[in-house]
Amino acid sequence: MSTAPLPTEITLHKKSRTLELAYGAERFELTAEYLRVYSPSAEVRGHGIGNGVLQTGKKLVGIKELIPAGNYAIKIVFDDGHDSGLYTWDCLHDLAYEYDHYWAKYLDKLAEAGESRDGGMIARG
């Protein structure tokens, strides 16, 4: 059972490629890229601790569709074909409230791997 509050509004903004979540008066705009690289799917998180796969080249990814999954989650269909993983209310709440932390962590991982948000290797020299 979810311990996080349910969003009071969920709005998909296809043009800006963002998902807006409202929790009462608080509003969060999460980019499709952010949601894609932090997908709760096994494809992204891996099948065990430390087995996650760094997502690269997702800077321009968009969201095609949101599909309700019972009373506990939504499925996000991305325009790069990724559609596995259910974003539970707990997951979305965590991604919204911890955005700064998670985004910085992702950028650090990209830099450590010599990768970029555009998908190419970063030239070192």
Per residue of the chain (125 residues), give pLDDT as tens. Answer: 567 889 999 999 999 999 999 999 999 999 999 999 999 998 888 766 667 889 999 999 999 999 999 889 999 999 999 999 899 999 999 999 999 999 999 999 999 999 999 975 554 44
118 exposure class (CB count in 10 Å sphere: 0-12, 13-18, 19+): exposed
CATH number of domain containing 102: 3.30.2020.30
Q: Is residue 119 part of a domain?
A: no
Q: Is residue 25 part of a domain?
A: yes
Q: Please state the domain count of the chain.
A: 1
Q: Is residue 102 part of a domain?
A: yes
CA of 2: how far to CAs of 8, 23, 26, 66, 73, in Å? Answer: 15, 15, 19, 19, 10
Q: Is residue 2 part of a domain?
A: no
Note down the domain range covering 99.
9-113
Q: Is residue 46 part of a domain?
A: yes
The model's pTM: 0.90
Give the pLDDT score at 42: 80
